Amino acid sequence: MDAQVKSVKECTTSFDDLGGGRFASASKCAVGGRVIVSRGTYTYESPTSTRTESHATYTPAFNGKTEESLVQEQRYVGNCPAGMNPGDRLMGNGTLVRYGK
């Protein structure tokens, strides 16, 4: 992923290994007259869980937003149920959300 992102001409990107299962990324992209600046951290909390925190700013605003933050906590809870496909998400209430729908 590192090499792929760094090859995008409109972006400058850095990835840093912070040690202890923590990684940081930062990027600045100019796309369609808009500048997007983002920073984030990715932490392996255990062999089966991760935490991601990211923040992005948009100049000018994108879909009415000038910035947004996202925190994701993911953990392995077992094998996927029958009928689940790659990219699908199983929500906390048991609802299956299909990828791309």
Question: Residue 49 has what pLDDT?
Answer: 95
pTM listed for this prediction: 0.69
Sequential pLDDT tens for the chain (101 residues): 455 555 667 889 999 999 999 999 999 998 888 999 999 999 999 999 999 999 999 999 999 999 999 999 998 888 888 888 888 888 889 888 988 76
Which tokens is 25 given?
A: 């990324």
CB 56 within 8 A of CB 40: no
Tell how strand 89-90 and strand 49-62 pair up: unpaired
The residue extents of the domains of the chain are 2-97
